[in-house]
Amino acid sequence: MIRKPVVGGQFYPASESLLRKEIEGYMDENADRTKALGAVVPHAGYVYSGETAGAVYSRLIVPETVVLLGPNHTGRGEAYSIQVEGSWRTPFGDAQINSVLAKTILEGSKYLVEDDSAHEFEHSIEVQVPFLQYERRDIRIVPVVLSEGALDVCREIGKAIADAVSEKSPDTLIVASSDMTHYESADEAKAKDEKAIDAIVNLDEEELVSRVRKFRISMCGYIPTAVMLAACKRRGASRAELVKYTNSGEKSGDFAQVVGYAGIIVE
């Protein structure tokens, strides 16, 4: 199966040359790079969140395989969906799915289900792929789309990912695709987002889930982020760093209703 672009020409340019030029503008070629275990990267249209995404990817040594964890915005498909075969097409070409790793993750989890339909129209993973291809054209991915779930589900899926990565592809990076607070004032969004960011930087997936629900933080990818944290801690993560925080108002000029974007690296 070739998963064709859904938001090409909307969230990012449909032309290879224009896409390359836009991503290039977001990258800092002088940034110090690290071999990270995980990251949180936003997934809005590049005009809004590309600066934050570029700040994260500028800091990463991108390995051959990246596990991409995204929220389910569409409501389609299984609650916890993984693709194990095929490729994702962007203007840069096709990014192949690492089937060996994907199948090992699937075998190790009682919650994940092989399912293409949840991925068909989901943008949260798609917008990450061109950035990864910009960094290396031979990139391979494992797409995972996650709906709401309990903390023990997050930890079980995180364990399955960590154990499979350790066995099949130890250099793999795990990226949680998430925007932060949606459609609140810039000040309100920042106050809420700081609570979630603090939990992430402290590598505390339990506190993240608790704070998102307690303070009604409309962080769409908090479940993928919790899974990423659980997986990275099992792989030995010891620290995390907020690379950049922005909001949509910085581009639109509307600070009354913004979407927040946080870029975080886990090492």
User: Looking at the 3D structure of the chain, how many domains does it have?
Assistant: 1
- Whole-number Å distance between alpha carbons of 243 and 32: 12
Tracing tokens 């390359």 back to the chain, one arrives at 20
pTM over 0.95: yes
Tracing tokens 């503008």 back to the chain, one arrives at 25
Helix (H, G, I), strand (E, B) or coil at 8: strand
How much is the pLDDT for 7? 97
User: What angle is formed at CA 39 by the lines to CA 36 and CA 41, rounded to 5 degrees?
Assistant: 145
- The dihedral through the CA atoms of 218, 223, 227, 233 has a sign that is positive
Mean pLDDT, the chain, rounded, equals 97
How much is the pLDDT for 36? 98
Phi first, then psi, for residue 39 (nearest 5°) are -160, 155
Whether 63 has a pLDDT exceeding 90, the answer reads: yes
- Whole-number Å distance between alpha carbons of 260 and 267: 23
In this prediction, residues 202-229 reach a mean pLDDT of 98
- Whole-number Å distance between alpha carbons of 166 and 185: 42
| Domain CATH code at residue 146 | 3.40.830.10
Question: Residue 125 sits in which domain range?
Answer: 2-266
In this prediction, residues 41-61 reach a mean pLDDT of 98
Q: Which of the four pLDDT bands, split at 50, 70 and 90, describes residue 1?
A: confident
Whether 114 has a pLDDT exceeding 90, the answer reads: yes
How much is the pLDDT for 109? 98
